[in-house]
Amino acid sequence: MRGKTIFVAGACLLGLICSAAQATVVVGTYSFEDTELVNRVLSFRGSGMYDGSNYVNPVSSPDNITDTGPISAPLTYLQTANFDGYRDVSMGLEFGQSRVINGPGADIALFFLSDQTKNVVNVAIGAQLKSLSFADVFDSNGIQQVANGTVSDGEIFNNVRLMVAEVDLDDYGFSADQILNGPLSVAMIQQDSQISVSMSMVGAVNATVIPVPAAVWLFGSGLIALLASARRRRQL
């Protein structure tokens, strides 16, 4: 019985070590593994952001922009509000088990709900600050993508316009294949009094997996040896 318990625990751990990704998120022509999504809000400046039912601090409520179902599931956005302390906010974002790498074209995609063309989103990397441009999201057949099941004030909204703003690390002075180390700083300013800045998800278009530390692999190898030894004992 003890040998069986060790086997189950070991199999779960090795599964986590060896699996590069657990799920895939597809948004129009964009595709991300869950390891390529922002998975933590490191910092926040502002009075709070609206999540569809409450005003929250994104550091303590990060799931709205870090989960793996931002388009089809409700409560997967954080938005500004048109009053002091809420219309001008900023967040420091961290990616998951991957690092953003400067590849061809755009390297990071930030997704938003509703028409953002009158609002402002700035991204700071190091000392460089750039204002982003918004575009509609289309699939490979040219069909404009929308968000369904978006909850706000107890109501469910479908066919919500979906937009994307891209970040190209070339614009921040990165060389080819250079890796982004450190957080992504995103500042959002609501200039349209009628439409909030509603961020839904941030993903790395170009990413490289973070290597597993050697100590973890050694630990995994030790577990394999232990499992093999336990199996031989059972066969004797």
Categorize the per-residue pLDDT at 68 as very low, low, confident or very high, splitting at 50, 70 and 90.
low
Q: Is the pLDDT of residue 212 over 90?
A: no
Domains of the chain are: 22-211 (2.60.120)
Which of 65-74, 128-137, 160-169 is least confident? 65-74
DSSP 149: S
136/43 Cα distance (integer angstroms): 28
Cβ of 83: how many Cβ atoms within 10 Å?
Answer: 10
Do residues 102 and 108 lie in contact, with contact meaning Cβ atoms separated by under 8 Å?
A: no
For residue 144, give the amino acid letter.
Q
What is the 8-class DSSP label of residue 61?
Answer: -
For residue 235, the model assigns a pLDDT of: 54
Whole-angstrom distance, CA of residue 149 vs CA of residue 157: 6
- pTM for this prediction: 0.80
Residue 27 CA to residue 31 CA, distance in Å, equals: 6
- For the chain, report the end-to-end CA distance as a whole number of angstroms: 15
Quick one: pLDDT band at residue 46, thresholds 50, 70, 90?
very high
Sheet (strand 38-45) strand order: 38-45, 88-95, 184-189, 120-125, 128-131
- Average pLDDT over the chain, rounded to an integer: 82
Average pLDDT over residues 108-137: 96
Q: Quick one: pLDDT band at residue 200, thresholds 50, 70, 90?
A: very high
Mean pLDDT score, 52-68: 89
Token pair in block for residue 171: 């614009």
With a cut of 90, say whether residue 41 has pLDDT above it: yes
Is 70 exceeded by the pLDDT of residue 18? Answer: no
Mean pLDDT of 64-83: 77
Query: pLDDT tens-digit profile of 139-158?
Result: 999 999 998 888 888 899 99
